[in-house]
Amino acid sequence: MTTKTHRVLPGFGLALGYTLVYLSLLILLPLGGMILKASELGFGQIIDIALGERSLAAFRVTFGASLLAAGINAFFGLIVAWILVRYPFPGKRFVDALVDLPFALPTAVAGITLATLYAGNGWLGQYIEPLGFKVAYTPLGIVVALTFITLPFVVRTLQPVIEDIETEVEEAAASLGASRWQTFVKVIFPAIFPALLTGFALAFARAVGEYGSVIFIAGNLPLISEITPLLIISKLEQYDVLGATALAVVMLALSFILLLTVNLLQWWAANRHKNNEPLEAAAGRAAGGAQ
Amino acid sequence: MTRFHRSISGLLLALVAGAALADASLLNSSYDVARDVYKDYNPLFQKYWKQKTGETLELKQSHGGSSKQVRAVADGLEADVVTMNQANDIEFLAEKGLVAKDWTKKFPNNASPYTSAMVFIVRKGNPKAIKDWSDVAAPGVQMIIPHPKNTGNGRNTYLSAWAWALRQKGGNDKTAQEFLGKLLKNAPLFAAGGRDATTTFMQRGLGDVLITFESEAEMIAKEFGKGNFEVVYPSLTLQTEFPVAVVEKVVDKKGTRKQAQAYLEYLWSKEGQENAAQNYLRPRDAELLKKYAAQFPPVKTFTVDEVFGGANKAFATHFKDGGSFDQIYVQK
């Protein structure tokens, strides 16, 4: 007797068809349209626009600040996620809800608020500026805005993974003689590393496209604190749709390459982890290193 | 029919009935800050039109950045009329064939029913003694303006300063560009828009001088109190125009040409002009200007046409990519 696997959704054909149509309408069609529009310009012209001094400076600011912000969140987001999962404390649910706030807040509101806080006479700015850190209206302000906007991506990606790690594994490592640091580096970190990379990639992707929160705190000075999305808007204000599309396509290509790299890295990390050691083995190895 | 379906069809019926109450409807696509002007103007026109023709008009407003609004109209937003703050925005629609080629001739005063001027807002007591454009470009002065490449407000400031520099002794394009270089160096940031510049200056206390529309000064007084700042009129500044036009393609399709034409014409009526004055925009009507003299001190102005040979030309020379603004920044 053959057993038929029971699926919740109706037929594979229908489900896949729906998926493809949905993704095409929402993602492929607009992106395809953009590339089609850009193809009105030659490849050389696109490169010329992308290599203009202002564009180059904007790409540097956009991708640099985004990488930095995603990096900061990868580190501090990990700590936040860990504490939210592992430690009980009063008001935990409230703190947990706070993490989602940057998701829900209109980005322009976030930008204006941050600019007010960090301006020379703002709550924070008045203490920070005398120390020599100008935040509002400098590239540093862009990093602050992007860090704020992308925090939930890292925390929300890591939380379920950290929840899945059984405390028994740590206990096993400890009972075999591993120090806390060894347990973290050899047992826990490899388990959460793929998720950390995913969070990093999501945060980075979100930061690259961010506009609303940044323009209010960036200062928008050409060659210094202009982000690429602002240049795109600037070109649209000049009715230069083609120029704007060219910049957008270059941004798309760069983001795609970076995300692909991160994904490959993540795939490699996940595979390595899966192949050679279940957590218990890792615990043993951590302990082995201790001897 | 389920309850859900009943409520949907009820809703649709209500919508149809609501539209049927008005004999015709007009959509005015306009720039951001004009919201108040037209909010006050629309009831005036509705009343006038009802008396004149017995027709009930529904008037809708759509506001946003000037160029963004125009792009929306070009992309198919069915606006009957456009009321903008930059002539080159309407020129763009003329090029696309949506607005008559000779749209500036269709109404008096270059099709601009009221004007404003670019003025300086300085801190109380004018501590840096800013009187004219040269003082704004002096070392150690901080100037707050919106981005000249992306906003009409910022462009107007740029052109005002350029024209002032041209009119100085030995002034030419080269000296004007040098002067603008010095002036722009004094900008610690470029605000995202006109209102953002105002907040940066008034609320965050950044900078010594804010350059903006005269009409904005009243908004600032209402919001932050009259005693907190002073308005300084430079020796020469730009008369900013607010051009209007009928969107030919849309009114032909909707059959609203008559109403749209009247809607814009009425801006030049006594009521329309008085409404502009009450919103701190300089009316074209000489008598009204006299009546509101306390509000509008005399100021020496020039128009973009006089100095730059038209909005399109000014735009191409100064703000297009590779124009004078880019040259100043990239050569630095």
Higher pLDDT, A89 or B11: A89
Residue B23 has pLDDT above 70, yes or no: yes
N- to C-terminal Cα distance for chain B?
Answer: 71
pLDDT of amino acid A279: 58
CB contact under 8 A, B203 and A116: yes
pLDDT of amino acid B332: 47
pLDDT-based confidence at residue B329 (cuts at 50, 70, 90): confident
Q: Is ipTM strictly over 0.90?
A: no
CB contact under 8 A, A120 and B67: no
Q: How many Cα atoms occupy the beta-carbon half-sphere of B187 within 13 Å?
A: 26
Residue B151 has pLDDT above 90, yes or no: no
The interaxial angle of helices A43-50 and A241-276, nearest 10 deg, is 80
Nearest Cα of chain B lies from the Cα of A112 at a distance, in angstroms, of: 9
Q: What's the CA gap between B55 and B49, in Å, rounded?
A: 7
Comparing alpha-carbon positions, the chain A residue that sits nearest to B205 is A121
Q: Is residue A138 within 8 Å of A58, Cβ to Cβ?
A: no
Query: What is the DSSP code (8-state) at residue B236?
Result: S
Residue B2 has pLDDT above 60, yes or no: no
Which residues in A lie closer than 8 A to residue B315 (C-beta atoms)? 238
pLDDT of amino acid A168: 86
pLDDT of amino acid B243: 95
Could you say which of A223, A230, A240 has the minimum Cβ distance to residue B321? A240
Higher pLDDT, A278 or B87: B87
Which range (A15-19, A40-44, B19-23, B289-293) has the least confidence?
Answer: B19-23
Percent of chain A residues topping a pLDDT of 90: 49
Q: What's the CA gap between A235 and A38, in Å, rounded?
A: 14
Residue B190 has pLDDT above 90, yes or no: yes
Percent of chain B residues topping a pLDDT of 90: 73
pLDDT of amino acid A43: 86
CB contact under 8 A, A238 and B206: no
Query: What is the DSSP code (8-state) at residue A6?
Result: P
A173-217 pLDDT, tens per residue?
888 988 888 988 888 898 899 999 999 999 999 999 999 999 999
Which residues in A lie closer than 8 A to residue B145 (C-beta atoms)? none
Q: What's the CA gap between B91 and A268, in Å, rounded?
A: 56
Which residues in A lie closer than 8 A to residue B151 (C-beta atoms)? 237
Residue A155 has pLDDT above 80, yes or no: yes
Count how many pairs of residues, chain A against chain B, have C-beta atoms within 8 Å.
73
pLDDT of amino acid A148: 95
pLDDT of amino acid B16: 52
State the average pLDDT over residues B13-33.
73
State the average pLDDT over residues B151-177.
93
Residue B142 has pLDDT above 90, yes or no: yes
B25-65 pLDDT, tens per residue?
999 999 888 888 999 999 999 999 999 999 999 999 998 88
pLDDT of amino acid B4: 58
Q: Which long-range contacts (CB under 8 A, 24 or more apart) does A173-182 make?
A: A173/A282, A173/A283, A173/A284, A173/A286, A173/A287, A176/A283, A176/A284, A176/A286, A176/A287, A176/A288, A176/A290, A177/A287, A177/A290, A177/A291, A178/A283, A178/A286, A178/A287, A178/A289, A178/A290, A179/A290, A182/A286, A182/A287, A182/A289, A182/A290
pLDDT of amino acid A291: 41
CB contact under 8 A, B204 and A222: no
pLDDT of amino acid B12: 56
Could you say which of B192, B203, B315 has the minimum Cβ distance to residue A216? B192
pLDDT-based confidence at residue B1 (cuts at 50, 70, 90): very low
Residue A290 has pLDDT above 50, yes or no: no
Q: Is residue A173 within 8 Å of A183, Cβ to Cβ?
A: yes
Residue B17 has pLDDT above 80, yes or no: no
What average pLDDT is seen over chain B? 90
Interface of A with B (CB under 8 A): 52-54, 112, 115-116, 119-122, 136-137, 215-216, 218-223, 225, 230, 233-240, 243
Residue B18 has pLDDT above 70, yes or no: no
What average pLDDT is seen over chain A? 87
pLDDT of amino acid B159: 96
Percent of chain A residues topping a pLDDT of 70: 91
Q: What's the CA gap between B121 and B214, in Å, rounded?
A: 9
State the average pLDDT over residues B224-230.
88
Nearest Cα of chain B lies from the Cα of A76 at a distance, in angstroms, of: 30
State the average pLDDT over residues A144-165.
94
The set of residues, in sequence order, having a beta carbon less than 8 Å from that of A130 and lying 6+ positions away, is none
Which residues in A lie closer than 8 A to residue B187 (C-beta atoms)? 221
B162-174 pLDDT, tens per residue?
999 999 999 999 9
N- to C-terminal Cα distance for chain A?
Answer: 55
Residue B10 has pLDDT above 80, yes or no: no
Nearest Cα of chain B lies from the Cα of A203 at a distance, in angstroms, of: 24
DSSP codes joined into one string, B237-290: EEEEE--EEE-HHHHHHHT-HHHHHHHHHGGGSHHHHHHHHHTT-EES-HHHHH
A53-110 pLDDT, tens per residue?
889 999 999 999 999 999 999 999 999 999 999 999 999 999 999 999 998 899 999 9
Residue B273 has pLDDT above 70, yes or no: yes
Beta bridge partners of B229: B123
CB contact under 8 A, B204 and A234: no
- Cα B65 from chain centroid? 10
